Amino acid sequence: MNTIGKILTLTSFGESHGPAMGGVLDGMPAGVDIDLEVVQRFVDRRRPGRSAVSSARDEKDRVEVLSGIWQGKTLGTPIGFIVRNADARSADYEEIARCYRPSHADYTWQAKYGIRDPRGGGRASARETVSRVVAGGIAMQALHCLGITVEAWVDTVASCDDVDQMEQVAQQALNDGDTVGGIISCTVKGVQAGLGEPVFGKLHAQLASAMISIPSVHGFEYGDGFAMAAKRGSEVMDCFVKRDDGSIGTLTNHSGGIQGGISNGEDITMRIAFKPVPTLMREVSTVDLDGNPVRLSPRGRHDACVLWRAVPVVEAMAALVILDNYLISKTNVL
C-alpha cells in the first residue's frame, strides 16, 4: 500500500531518519516539459524550519532525479528520485523506543509488524510526504499543459479564520508547549467534465482517499460537504444552464464540481481537516512496551502547527489524482 494511482502511479519509500526519502513516478506520458527548478521551489514550500511554528529540523530537501527526465522532458519511463535526509537526530528518540507516544502510530505499527523504527516515527513520519510533493510538482506541470490549476491555502487555524491572526494562534500554542490543527481548502480549476470512475472509483472518493492518507488528516469534504446535511434539496440544487460559449454549466457549485462521482466541468472544491500534532512540548502520560505507566518527556524538533507546510502536500495529492484520472479517461474510448 505504498503505491497510489492506476495509470499514473507513485510508489514512495524511505524512513524519517534513513539515508533518503524517495519515489518512483510511473505512467507519465513522454515529451512533457518539466522544469526541475519549479519542482524544487514547490518542494521548498514544504521544507521544515521555514517558520517559527514549524520543526527546526534543518533539511535542504534537494531533489535528485535519477531517471525518466532528459533535457527537460519526460521520457515516458519511470521517473525515479530521492531527497536525502541530512539533519536527523536519532538520539532524540531513544526514550521513545521504550514506550508508546499517545496518539502516534508507535503502538499500532508495533502491533501490526512486530517491529518499528522509532527514529522520528520511521515510515509513519510526515517526512514521508516529501516524496509526494516531488511527484506532485511534476504532475502539476503536466496539468498546466492541459489548462488545469491546483491551489490550496490555510482556511482556519484552531477555528480562527483571520489570516492575520492565524500564525499568532499557532505561536501561542507553541508557547504553551501545545499544538493546534485546522483546515486547508483546495480548488482545482479547468477540469473537463467526465473524469472519475463509478462506482467504486468516484472522483471524490479518490480525492478523499488521497487526502486522508496524509498524516494528521482527520476529515474531508467536497463542495458544501457536511453543511448540506442541514439544508433542503432546493437550497443546494445546482441548476444547469447554457453558457455564452455554448457549453453546459451550473448556476451554483454546491456539488463541488463532482456529480455522480464524475467531474462536471465546474471548479472542484474541497476542505481537509488536520488534527493537532500529537507531540507536545510537555510531559505526557503513557505506558512502556510492557504496559507499565511512565511519564514521557518531550525531545526532538516538531511542528506546533503543520498547516502551512501541508498546503503543498494537499496540492500534490490533488494533482496526482486529477492527472491519473485524465489519463484513465483516455482509455475509455477509441
pLDDT at 252 over 80: yes
Q: What is the pLDDT of residue 155?
A: 98
Asked, for residue 233, whether it belongs to a domain, the answer is yes
Q: What is the pLDDT of residue 53?
A: 75
Asked, for residue 59, whether it belongs to a domain, the answer is yes
Asked, for residue 306, whether it belongs to a domain, the answer is yes
Asked, for residue 255, whether it belongs to a domain, the answer is yes
Asked, for residue 15, whether it belongs to a domain, the answer is yes
Asked, for residue 334, whether it belongs to a domain, the answer is no
The residues near 191 (Cβ < 8 Å, ≥ 6 apart) are: 148, 257, 263, 265, 267, 268, 322
| 319 C-beta neighbours (distance < 10 Å), count | 29
Instruction: Name the domain count of the chain.
Output: 1
pLDDT at 37 over 60: yes
pTM attached to this predicted model: 0.94
Q: What is the pLDDT of residue 300?
A: 67
Helix, strand, coil percentages in the chain from 3-state DSSP, rounded to 5: 30, 25, 45
Asked, for residue 270, whether it belongs to a domain, the answer is yes
For 155-208, the pLDDT digits (tens) are 999 999 999 999 999 999 999 999 999 999 999 999 999 999 999 999 999 999
Alpha-carbon distance of 241 to 114, in angstroms, equals 58
Residue-number span of the structural domain to which 33 is assigned: 3-329
Average pLDDT, the chain: 93
Amino acid at 302: H
Asked, for residue 171, whether it belongs to a domain, the answer is yes
For 85-112, the pLDDT digits (tens) are 987 666 667 788 899 999 999 999 999 9
Q: What is the CATH number of the domain that holds 82?
A: 3.60.150.10
For 57-76, the pLDDT digits (tens) are 567 899 999 999 999 999 99
Cα angle vertex 257, ends 252, 258, to 5°? 125
